[in-house]
Amino acid sequence: MARLTLDFSRQSFCYSSHMTVRSTDINAANHLSNDSMISMISEARARFLFDFGIRETSASGPGIIVTDLATMYRAEAHARDQLLFEVGVMDFNRYGGDIIFRISRPADGTLIALAKSGFVFFDYSLGKVVEMPADFRATFPTVNWLD
């Protein structure tokens, strides 16, 4: 099977947040577990959207629903490591796009992981995917578009 490759060397990140690896995030091999990394990526996404004034769910309009997640691990992280989550967006289309993540350990500059999370806008009251709102699109005017 082909290995997953993520390359964000030409992408810009517009947000960052720090999180500390908790002892409860560690697996039997004594490093950050996969499920905890996914939870931390989800938290970084939520912080990013919140700080840009974007609601993941809304009673008065569309929210965001995650469609997929790809993660490429590069190094281990351990309990009490402080990690930097850099977040950006790319590959917008009519209904959504990708939120990208570069996760590193600032203490030694080690790249821990790269991840990409697909999303679409979803109207929860109608139960269907809807077009990306113009105000969201305007928040990130330099993002490349896919047709």
* Strands 110-123 and 96-105, sheet pairing: antiparallel
> What does pLDDT average to over the chain?
93
Residue 146 lies in a domain: no
- pTM across the whole model: 0.93
Rounded CA separation 85/23 (Å): 19
User: Quick check: helix, strand or coil at residue 88?
Assistant: strand
Q: Which pLDDT score is estimated for 49?
A: 95
End-to-end CA separation in angstroms for the chain: 28
Residue 119 lies in a domain: yes
Counted domains in the chain: 1
Question: What does DSSP assign to residue 129?
Answer: E
Give the whole-number percent of the chain exceeding pLDDT 90.
80
**pLDDT tens, 83-131?**
999 999 999 999 999 999 999 999 999 999 999 999 999 998 889 999 9
Q: Which pLDDT score is estimated for 144?
A: 76
Residue 1 reports pLDDT greater than 70: no
Residue 52 lies in a domain: yes
Residue 42 lies in a domain: yes
Rounded CA separation 85/120 (Å): 22
* Contact yes or no for 120/48 (Cβ under 8 A): no
Residue type, 72: M
User: Quick check: helix, strand or coil at residue 63?
Assistant: strand
Residue 8 lies in a domain: no
CATH number reported for the structural domain that contains residue 64 in this entry: 3.10.129.10
Please list the alpha-helical segments (H only) found in the chain.
Answer: 34-51, 134-139
Q: Which whole number is the average pLDDT over 43-62?
A: 89
Give the whole-number percent of the chain exceeding pLDDT 70.
99
